[in-house]
Each structure stands twice: as C-alpha cells, then as structure tokens.
Chain A
C-alpha cells in the first residue's frame, strides 16, 4: 500500500488541473482513501511536486526484427554504456538501445507503457521474445496488415466477413493489439521494384487500391470493435508534396463513427506533411493537415518529431527506405517478409544546419502546436525521429515560445520561409502536454486503466521535482526540461522502481493482446489461410505465438 501525500496533481482524463490531493495505491491499482489503512502505508511526501500518470508511448519501435537488424548493422550505436551488469542488467546504446536499456530509460523518465508499432505477424514470436526482455514497462505490439496477400484477397472478393475473420485470427495468432497499416499496397509494389504514388493506383498483381485497403480495414476494425483504431502510416512517406496524400487518406475516415475513440489514427505525420515538388522547394504542409484534423472528430495523429542528432530510420515502408538510402548514401538493409510485408533500415542523423532536417524539425512542432491537444499525441517515432529520451525537450518546446525562438536561431534559416513555426504564438499548457503524453495516447489505444489517476486505474505514477504552481513555463523552460528528464519517483503497478533517476527495482510489465475471435466465425477464412500456407516457409500449425509462451500476457477480450 502506498500513500502519495500532498502532490500537485494533473490528470486530464478526470479533469483535475493542478489540485493538491492525495493518491492511494493498493494491489497495483489506485483506490479510494477508505480502502486503505493509513498506518500500514508507505508514505511518499510529494508536497510541491507534480504528480501525473506514468507516460504512455503509443508509437515506438522497441522490439522485433527491424530494431534487431538495426542493432546488428550499427555497432557504433552500442559503444555508449548506460549500465554495467550488477543488480540490473547491462544496458548499452546511444539512440538505438538494447532491450534492457529501453525499459530502464523509459522508467527513468517516468514512462511506464510503450507500444511496438509494427510487427509482421509471421515474425511476431521474435517480437514477443524481445518484448519479454524489456523490463519496467507494459507493452504490446501492432501487427501489420496493409500489404498482406490474404488481406488483398478478402478485399478483392469484397467479403467483409472474411476480412474480419482474418484480422481477428491474425491478431490472436500474433498476440497483437490492433491493426497497423504501413504504406498500403506500396510495399507489395516494392517486391517488383515499384511503389504506389496515390490512393487510386492499382497494387500490382491484385485488383485493389490503397484507398480500398484503408477503407476496408477501417470497416473491419470498427465492426470488430477492437480497442484501438486502424493505425495508419500513409503512402508517399518522405516525399515532397505528400501532404496531399495524407489529407486524402485522413478523409477516408469520414462516414465511420465510434463513440469511444477515433476511427483512424495517422501516425508520425511529420514525415507525411511535406509540401513542394522536390527537395529544393520543399516546405511544410502541417497547417493544412492540422486544420483538417481539427475539423474532424474521428481522427487523431501523432507527431513523429525529429530530434537533432543520431537516429535510425526503420519502417515497414521498404520502398521509402530505398529512396532514403539513395538520397543519403548511407548503409541500407532490406527485408521481404514472406507474403505479408517488407521492411528497410537506414542510419540517419538530423543536422540543424541542413535545410531539409531543419524543416522536418519545424513541421513536427507545427503539428504539435496547431493541432488541438485532444487530437495529437507526442512521439518521435523512435528511433526514426530520434530517441524517446528527448520527449522532455518536445514537452518544453510546446510550452515555451521563448525556447522555440532560441532554438530557431540555431537552425538553418530556410525554416523561416518554408514553415509557419516562427509565427506561431501558441504555448500549450501543462495540462495539455500531460494529456498529449498520458491520457490521450491511452485513449487512442483504448487502454482504459492507463494514462490517468482515477479510481481503478493502474498505479503507474510519475512524480516530478517541479512545482507547477510556481513555475513559469514560458521562461523557465530549462528547469522544466530538466525536471521531466529525470523522474523523482516512477511507480509501476504500485511499486517504486525509480528514485531520482536511479533504478531501484527491476519489474516486468504485462503484454496486452486483443482477442476478438468471439465476434467472428473463423471458419469463413480458414480454407483460404490453408491454401496460402502451401506457399509459406512454415506450416500453419507452427504459425503464431501461444499465450503460455509469454512472460505476463494480459488478454483483452472483445465481446
């Protein structure tokens, strides 16, 4: 039992803004005062300190084939030693971290949940093995659907029951959480050396278009009633002028409705918000996208903010990765994952004096500032945009115009004419930023017990050494940044795991997975699945992950 005394609480889900209150924890949950015996409690004095829910990262690449290949091809990333083996596991990595380092660094920053954003269903066993070796945080993985031959077949036949059955079956087999779509149709076209350029291009070999793939998957996802919506990585990522494709894709959500959450989440929009026709007249299309998202009530986005310094581009968007490799002349790894998807990896670095990188950096912030705080989550698309350890930098930037002015002086001045960032006066409040990092991502993902401090929520709590009542967020940005960088206390499931940035205890979080099998008749798709498995490299009986193989699985059943 835990009693957090006199903290200054910000809890946007429960509409609590800067109230001095006590929080009580029992059996890993937040409980009312009446349920605990104060004498038996461990007391944490949080007077004058900020108490919020543990952070929720809704889109990061933290486990699976891609990040592991990235580690293999970037030995230089592994020379930063973060922790020498002893009470805790050895952890290394500059930006591309090893599995223990990921858990430790999240915990030190007060984050307690993170979602692996893309895993091919066929390699989900690897993803789960890696997720199981990440300590400290709760996690889950999103399997990818946008380029799977079986998905194409169901859409070609216009058979929604079959598609729903396939989605439910695949999510169960991969112990996944939702429907991720990466460059729909484009990765399949890449298998023949091509890509799709707009939503109505036909996917080679199949009678489907990206528009149909997205719409049908949203329909299947909504009819199944999964906790999370379709999680879309748009077509034409990283191409100047792509903001129009993004706008068209977002409009596909019109006509769908869900009481609880959005019906389409568009991810790392920064990489999909470029105007212009080439890298020479490249600029920002963030304002148009933000305007559209603000006008719709069923779409959310996340930033994908680049951080200056080292990063590694790794996505299922294999054709984009090849373009990037040609552009930078950097190392490149490519993968064709059976009939399901592909992937690519390229090391990159964001340099402040490079006009393109400076504009990318500004676009991420524009999206964060111009979009309503209830519709944009804070991410770096780790490790594509940079390390998640720099989230406090983004938080401070969103809250301080003065800090942005200072940073704008250090970057290439092309941003002045190519983006609107210099003229944006918005300063987000602490309440909004806490929403963007806690309650909003939890709501987008459909996690009811995460991201807030209401009764019944998981006792994932972060306490920061920052008195929000006495802090001037516009001018005191350095202090804000430092405070959010190192949590004074991180509490996971009711246990104190970090104190002043020092690890105290190693815990292993749960892996969430979604079971929607009751909503469908799996038999409608099994014959097709069996036919396809004649061409897979493994047998159907060996496909997928059994629940008992996971360290701490938690099934969320859809009924």
Chain B
C-alpha cells in the first residue's frame, strides 16, 4: 500500500495517471514517476509525500486531490482510496478494480470505463460514464455509485454497466444511450434524448421528452431514432 499526501497547495492542475500498479514498486521508483504540473513534467516526489506500508495493491490519497486529474486512469485491478475530493477524469478507461472517493468527484468520472467499481460518498460533477467528445461509445461495463448529487450529461452514449445516483441529477441523462442501467433515487431534468436501448429508473420527478410512448414496461423511445430504451418510475 502506498500513501500519497500533497506537500503544497497546487497553483495549477496536476495530471497524474496513477494506478494501483505503482504499489508493486519501491518508494524510490514511485517518487520518480513523471507527472505534469501545469505544462511542466515533474517527479511525483516533488509534489507529494510518499509512504509505503505493506505490499497490497492499493493507493491511498490523503488530503485534497481536487486539482489532481486522471487518478486511476486505465487501471485494471487493485484498489484506490481517496480520503478527500478528487479531480477530473478519475477512473477514465478503467477495466477493473475499485475506486472509493470519500469526498466529491469532479467532471468526467469513469469515462468510457469497461469494468470495475467507483464509489463516491459525496457529490459528483458532469459527464459521468459518458464518451469523450467525438468518441462513439461511452461506458461499456462496471458500476458507478454516487451517494450525493450529480451534474448534467450522465451516461451519455452509454453501452453497458450501471450508474446509481442516490441524490438528484441534472439534465440530459442517458442521451444516445444504447445499453446498461442508470438509476436515480432523487429527481432530475430531461431524460433519454435519442436513446436507443438500456433502462433509466427514476424515483423522483423528471422531465419527459415528447418522443417517448407509454407502454406496460414504462416510457419507451426515443421514437426519433426508432429506439427501444425504457424510462421507468420506481
């Protein structure tokens, strides 16, 4: 287990593609890991205090990491625990393993992820589990749980997996969604535009587009794209 703590308050964002793979290396090697601080390449040890305790494949981030982007990118196994808030693109392209964020998460959480689990105890930003701009497919597998509220564009172009939001969410939920499940325990805005498949379950109130037809299963659409997606009140 590697424990990482910021030494300073960051003036600009840090881009650090840190995965639990690091925990298999020695402290010296981890300190030399290259990250971007603004537009400069620096060593991890210059910005963070690093400690090692035991050999399990686990990273623990202590402190405020809300300006550190790309934590857990492309991780395949192991565990990451963030004991504060985390910056954008956390868990992007993730294939397996587990990320636990005890504070809030920023935008682009679990982008295009294919497997694994992300749990956020606080709130999350926009664009959870969707596709990067221009890409055809978003999240394809795995599970994202947000215990607080979330922003707009949740699960855009989603093609599998599960997103659960225990609070409220914003607009444009499951836009162009093809498969998978989005569950919102609170209320949200517009839902399911150009949806082709998959299921959106909502406990609270939401705004329905006029392009969905009522059936026994729930609201089915989006008829504009001959979609068979389902929106259900639970």
Contacts and interface: CB of A to CB of B under 8 A. Distances in A.
Contacts, number: 10
A462 to B, nearest CB: 34
A151 to B, nearest CB: 37
Contacts of A74: 134
A77 B135 CA distance: 9
A231 B126 CA distance: 49
Nearest to A349: B136
Contact-residue size bin, chain A (C-beta under 8 Å from the other chain): under 10
Contacts of B133: 75-76
A77 B134 CA distance: 8
A77 B133 CA distance: 10
Interface in A60-108: 74-77, 79
Nearest to B41: A84
B178 to A, nearest CB: 13
B132 interface: yes
Contacts of A76: 132-135
A76 B131 CA distance: 10
Nearest to B134: A76
Interface in B130-161: 132-135
Contacts of B135: 76
Nearest to A329: B225
A79 B135 CA distance: 11
Nearest to A347: B134
Interface string A351-374: 000000000000000000000000
Interface in B110-133: 132-133
Contacts of B132: 75-76, 79
Contacts of B134: 74-77
B134 to A, nearest CB: 3
Nearest to B225: A329
B210 to A, nearest CB: 22
B15 to A, nearest CB: 13
A74 B133 CA distance: 8
A518 to B, nearest CB: 49
Interface string B187-202: 0000000000000000
B197 to A, nearest CB: 15
A76 B138 CA distance: 13
A75 B133 CA distance: 6
A74 B135 CA distance: 9
A376 B134 CA distance: 36
B196 to A, nearest CB: 11
A420 to B, nearest CB: 35
B100 to A, nearest CB: 29
Residue from B132, B133, B134, B135 having most chain A Cβ neighbours under 10 A:
B134
A540 B181 CA distance: 59
B67 to A, nearest CB: 22
Nearest to B131: A76
A309 to B, nearest CB: 15
Nearest to A76: B134
A11 B134 CA distance: 44
Contacts of A79: 132
Interface of B: 132-135
Interface of A: 74-77, 79
What 9 A-B pairs are tightest by C-beta distance, nearest first? Answer: A76-B134, A75-B134, A75-B133, A76-B135, A74-B134, A76-B132, A76-B133, A77-B134, A75-B132
Given A77-B134, A79-B132, 8 more contacts: A74-B134, A75-B132, A75-B133, A75-B134, A76-B132, A76-B133, A76-B134, A76-B135
10 contacts: A74-B134, A75-B132, A75-B133, A75-B134, A76-B132, A76-B133, A76-B134, A76-B135, A77-B134, A79-B132
